[in-house]
Structure 1
Amino acid sequence: MGAFLDKPKTEKHNAHGSGNGLQYGLSSMQGWRVEMEDAHTAVVGIPHSLEDWSFFAVYDGHAGSRVANYCSTHLLEHITDNEDFRAAESAGSAVEPSVENVKSGIRTGFLKIDEYMRNFADLRNGMDRSGSTAVAVLISPGHMYFINCGDSRAVLYRNGQVCFSTQDHKPCNPREKERIQNAGGSVMIQRVNGSLAVSRALGDYDYKCVDGKGPTEQLVSPEPEVYDLLRADEDEFIILACDGIWDVMSNEELCEFVKYRLELTDDLEKVCNSVVDTCLHKGSRDNMSIVLVCYQNAPKVSEEAIKKDADLDKHLESRIEEIMTSAGEEGMPDLAHVMRILSAENIPHLPPGGLAGKRSVIEDVYNRLNPHRENDGDPPGRGDSAPHGKLVEALRELRINHRGNYRQLLEEMLCSYRLVKMQGEESTAEPEPPPASSTVEDQSVTGSPPQAE
């Protein structure tokens, strides 16, 4: 089947919640990939005396979803239950761990879960070769601990600008490349041994079997980088996302887009959905997952922003109507043609991310103005024997054989077909051919028109 689908899967998994002065929303979408390998974690209130702490994470799996799914359920407990994280506790007390305890406990938790999963039968015997990146944030009342292992990324938006970003672990980074080469590997086409595109990950045990090297010295390391930041009143929001998002949007562009959407709605699921949809329209071919964590100082819904956005929608609708009504004898333009015209224009007040951020609006207007548009394809597996499939195939042939005039031809055929029905003839009768004055050069259509159900 290959690495990609014929048509992206745009159904989304959503969740939201609040607590500890935070609100969060998340969205994940399979997109063009043949499998969904992402996973996530969102916990507000951590058990065992850390009820005022919260934990959020995104896991970007590869070569399967086993490792990502297990980590989404168990990584937090491996972090908070290990002896390094709990070192400050004494019998019968619940002392909050120190910054150094937390950082050490996070590192130990990653190494422990990686070693634990190695003993899973399907991972040990090579039947499952999956791995996963992990990007997370552990939020205490006074601190934010950003955690990264791989090329997913976290950013902090504070006081109207990107204040912090984790660093991607790529094989071509000098420090990563040095470790890979010291373990006997190489970096080719920016991949570990020409194959794996990340230099740190959980799982991926084929890259963790170099004799004489410790777990953090292997071709691929499970060791996370941990960054400690003090919380501030100016903190607005945190974004955690996999590389399917970051491949098509920069830190600044994504943060500005989220800010723009937060001024239009306080529904964080909708904000996250708009991110993944926009990234799909901008060309992302990967699974996409995003977790948005908002502080109390996050942007609020603005009547001015709503009005400006509504004015933009009206302008786009007007321009699309002009484009489609001026098509003339060339026939109704397809959506791609409309998008090309709009992208060449200097449209004011477009959202961060450009025209892709308004793709859904453009599609809605186009579909309303062109009800006879060609169906862009059916889900795989729909048999040709189904009436719907026959109709779609007939429409495709009409468009191919009579480009520029297929709509006129179709309307004439439908009119003739209705007349036949009204005259009481058999429903299987073929419609009368169009009149000789038709401008269509070749009016033959392969096969009979679809039968009425």
Structure 2
Amino acid sequence: MGQLLSHPLTEKSIIYNDYEQPSPNGPRGRSGNKHPLPSGRERGVGLRFFNCVGTMQGYRLTQEDAHLIANHDSALVVKFYNPFLNAEENLSISVFGVFDGHGGGECSQFVGSQNNTSEGISKWIKHAFETHEYGSLTNSDHTQRNCSILFHTLEGLICQIVKDAFIMQDRELYCHFSEESCGSTGILALIINGEMLYVANTGDSRCVLSTKGRGVKTLSYDHKPQHIGELVRINDDGGTVSLGRVGGVLALSRAFGDFQFKSSVSYTNNSSGPYAGQKYVAPAQESQVTVEPDVLPHRICYDRDEFLVLACDGIWDLYSNKNLVQFIKYHLMLGLKLDEIVTKLLDHGINSADSNTGVGFDNMTIIIVSLNRKDESLGQWYNKMKTRLEREKGLIA
């Protein structure tokens, strides 16, 4: 393993978004990666949640993972009709996502595009929020908007909007990759106005939340073909599951792309626009492999909630939810920064490569997102975490 560790495929790309040193070239990355600011945007548009992204190709022949950060200067700003208030609202949405491609990296790269104005899931999130036709059961004025579906809660309505965005993205992917066999998982965390967190998952990438007092909250659940609800849908659409795989091939039951498993879903076009008028003749939610995500809402409590972790299955093959959070907390207590912790995580992953089990040989991508208060600096968040963890361990009074 010592010789393999020097192979270029094991080189890490670390992007540490600390927002402490403004630069015209955007966030700095240890590997030299930089994301330029979108044209027409100024710093400080959205809330800044400090974060660090780490990726490693590992021993795979290609890097099929992708990630998305739309936060602070690149946060989504959307005009949203709130039917519960019968009023227009401006929302600031920070988006963090990990996309684990298979059969090639085309789908994952497309969905995770950093250009949120022209392509990728960010574009469809903005579109879904601004054009929804949903209403409120508690507001008698819903008829003014010709609402198609009524909801009891705003949280339920927003969950449906996020699901719509995933389905819209899959329609666009069909225009480009209908004849390809590529696909991608997607784990997406949306923080709206710094108050509500929505985690959308399709596939087996995962998101967990670390909370005060050694708490770990699971915010997504893997979609595997052998799970009874997934198995029923696959069988009802004429598919089979063998060796834990759809059609004996795909180890996931939900994903972007993979259109060979969506043959019952039909697409039609009209001449009014490149994607306008496209619709599913058969419900996308009922295909063997569906893109419809599970969406879990969570109201952020800054007194308790500490940080989010989003990662592909290459990371979760090595760690349980609890063990990964404990690893991060332990090193925060030692005074390490997020980029140093991510480096250690990836190093440990590649050192754990086992040719008998296949663990440690996958692409690896992880994002750690601090849940800091609006007026809290990164240094203050580090100090708060270190003091809290030392107190939990009984090292200080």
Instruction: State the TM-score, normalizing by the size of structure 1.
Output: 0.60
Unaligned residue ranges in structure 1 (runs of 5+): 92-96, 307-453
Aligned partners of 1:80 and 1:105 also within 8 Å: no
Match of 1:291 in 2: 367
In the alignment, the residues of structure 1 paired with residue 388 and residue 202 of structure 2 have an alpha-carbon distance, to the nearest angstrom, of 41
Within the alignment, does 1:70 sit opposite 2:110 as a pair?
A: yes
In the alignment, the residues of structure 2 paired with residue 265 and residue 27 of structure 1 have an alpha-carbon distance, to the nearest angstrom, of 19
In the alignment, the residues of structure 2 paired with residue 84 and residue 101 of structure 1 have an alpha-carbon distance, to the nearest angstrom, of 13
Q: Which amino acid aligns with 1:20?
A: L
Aligned residues: 294
Aligned partners of 1:191 and 1:197 also within 8 Å: yes
Q: Please list the CA deviations of residues 385-427 of structure 1 after superposition, one character each: whole Å capped at 9, or x if unmatched.
A: xxxxxxxxxxxxxxxxxxxxxxxxxxxxxxxxxxxxxxxxxxx
Match of 1:114 among 150, 162, 170: 170
In the alignment, the residues of structure 1 paired with residue 389 and residue 158 of structure 2 have an alpha-carbon distance, to the nearest angstrom, of 41
Q: Spell out the pairing of 1:212-227 with structure 2 (5 A cutoff).
A: 213-227=282-296
Distance 1:261 1:66, change over 3 A: same
In the alignment, the residues of structure 2 paired with residue 252 and residue 305 of structure 1 have an alpha-carbon distance, to the nearest angstrom, of 15
Q: Which amino acid aligns with 1:104?
A: Q
Match of 1:13 in 2: 13
Q: Which amino acid aligns with 1:275?
A: L
In the alignment, the residues of structure 2 paired with residue 40 and residue 116 of structure 1 have an alpha-carbon distance, to the nearest angstrom, of 19
Q: Spell out the pairing of 1:32-51 with structure 2 (5 A cutoff).
A: 32-44=59-71, 45-48=75-78
In the alignment, the residues of structure 2 paired with residue 250 and residue 267 of structure 1 have an alpha-carbon distance, to the nearest angstrom, of 22
In the alignment, the residues of structure 2 paired with residue 181 and residue 304 of structure 1 have an alpha-carbon distance, to the nearest angstrom, of 50
Distance 1:143 1:85, change over 3 A: farther
Match of 2:191 in 1: 139
Q: Spell out the pairing of 1:327-406 with structure 2 (5 A cutoff).
A: none
Match of 2:239 in 1: 185
Q: Secondary structure at the match of 1:33?
A: coil
> Percent of pairs identical after alignment?
31
Q: Spell out the pairing of 1:263-282 with structure 2 (5 A cutoff).
A: 263-265=333-335, 267-282=337-352
Within the alignment, does 1:104 sit opposite 2:173 as a pair?
A: no
In the alignment, the residues of structure 2 paired with residue 278 and residue 6 of structure 1 have an alpha-carbon distance, to the nearest angstrom, of 14
Name the one with the larger helix percent.
1
Higher relative contact order (CA 8 A, sep 6+): 2
Shift, 1:262, TM fit: 1.9
Match of 2:324 in 1: 254
Match of 1:56 in 2: 96
Whichever of the two has the greater Rg, that structure is: 1
Aligned partners of 1:8 and 1:30 also within 8 Å: no
Aligned partners of 1:85 and 1:102 also within 8 Å: no
Shift, 1:165, TM fit: 3.2
Unaligned residue ranges in structure 2 (runs of 5+): 20-45, 80-89, 114-119, 136-143, 146-152, 266-280, 354-359, 374-380, 391-397
Q: Which amino acid aligns with 2:62?
A: E
In the alignment, the residues of structure 2 paired with residue 110 and residue 52 of structure 1 have an alpha-carbon distance, to the nearest angstrom, of 19
Shift, 1:276, TM fit: 1.5
Q: Which amino acid aligns with 1:292?
A: I
Distance 1:221 1:5, change over 3 A: farther
Coordinate RMSD, CA, aligned: 2.9
Aligned partners of 1:171 and 1:191 also within 8 Å: yes
Match of 1:242 among 300, 312, 319: 312
Shift, 1:219, TM fit: 1.1
